[in-house]
Amino acid sequence: MHPQPPPESRWQAALRLGWLPVVLLVGLIARFGVSTYGSNYDLDSWKIAVNLAETGQNVWMGTFRYNYGPIWMYLLESLDILGGHNPAVFRLLLIACLSAVDAGIAWILWRHYGRLAATLFFLNPVSIMITGYHNQFDNIAILLGLGAVLMYGNDPAAPVGRRKLGALALLGLSLMTKHILFAFPLWLAVKQKGLLQKAVVILVPVAMFLLSFAPYWREGHTGIMAHVFQYKSYPNPYFYNVLMPTLVQSLVDAKTVWFLILIGFAFVCRKAAALDSLLLYSCVMLATTPATTNEYLAIPLIYTSAVVNAFTLAYTIIATCQISAGGDGPPLQSGAVGGVMDLALYCLCLAILWAYGREPWLRFLQKCHAEVRHQLGYPEEPPAR
């Protein structure tokens, strides 16, 4: 028989039960509080999209500032109607909605990675500023993706039945919201047994994403192609420019290297649990991206909150400085150093390297330590048992 754990003290029980409301309250206050510093380009874009949708115009033809599938447009329109078309109420509802999504992500992290991971995510300054100030919605796509992998499960031999199809539909909704998980169907397909089953895993979410534009294609195909499929964010391929050898750069461009890395890591973590793979995907995708802006810094928080080490903590600190002093964020740090996006992405690269390549480095460091001791005349340490 296993020994029974010691009974929980009243203080421990109170701490366990009181932790969640305290974290939620502090996180919500911070999100609404940071919104009082103003807004930026993103909120103006949402207002433009809402005005176009409510006047019956095609959003993709009416503006170049909407680069996503239709789900976010439907949600924005619903919040505007619910708020009585009042801009101030609209923004409050928007922050409340995005904060609820953050809370949902924190709950999943809590259930699967522990209380610390949930706390680090919900009280993360990056998450707070992106939700409360930028009002960006990558978190909705991420929450739908998390729900999809939890429903999908970890049985690669099981055929794609009703449950897995439901999971793939959720993943399709994620892509229809914001297509940051565009390569993740491949990551799931690599795990799945059977060629036909693999094809289904890839095709269902991708087909949902493509078909979501069908009602708008006739009038808006030019705008959809230009502003969604051919959209290019700010080109800043830090990983490619610094870490790719000159020979590689002479043969392939930054976007191709990005795609190849995402494909390669699908096979690297093919035996990992689906949830762990999604967390890693968020990190790899941003670390090696050929183009990024400040709001993308919130994408890998599901990884950096669950996998805590020196590199993920450094990422949070540097990303916070980048957003709060980068020109389009709340001016929370007077005199802080902006323009450190590259350092944040390098921290992600080091976090990945540490997760998947630390054993050889640790053995190398142990050998160096033993050699230094030998040269200094210290007795050899007994081998670890």
Q: How far apart are CA 296 and CA 344, in angstroms?
A: 11
Q: How far apart are CA 169 and CA 204, in angstroms?
A: 7
Task: Compute the 3-state secondary structure of the chain and give helix, strand, coil in percent, each to the nearest 5.
Answer: 75, 0, 25
Give the pTM.
0.88
pLDDT of the residue at 378 = 64
Q: Residue 291's beta-bridge partner residues? A: 235
pLDDT of the residue at 5 = 47
Spans of all domains in the chain: 37-375
For the chain, 385 residues long, the average pLDDT of each consecutive 10-residue run is 50 63 94 92 93 93 94 96 95 97 96 94 97 96 97 90 95 97 96 94 97 94 93 85 86 93 92 94 95 92 95 95 72 51 92 76 61 60 53
Lookup: tokens for 203: 């095709």
CB atoms within 10 A of CB 273: 14
Lookup: tokens for 372: 């230094």
pLDDT of the residue at 373 = 61
Collect all residues with Cβ–Cβ distance below 8 Å to 258 and sequence separation of at least 6.
240, 288, 289, 290
Burial of 212 (0-12, 13-18, 19+ CB in 10 A): middle
pLDDT of the residue at 4 = 47
Burial of 203 (0-12, 13-18, 19+ CB in 10 A): middle
pLDDT of the residue at 353 = 85
H, E, C per residue of 270-302: CCCCHHHHHHHHHHHHHHCCCECCHHHHHCCHH
Lookup: tokens for 213: 């534009």
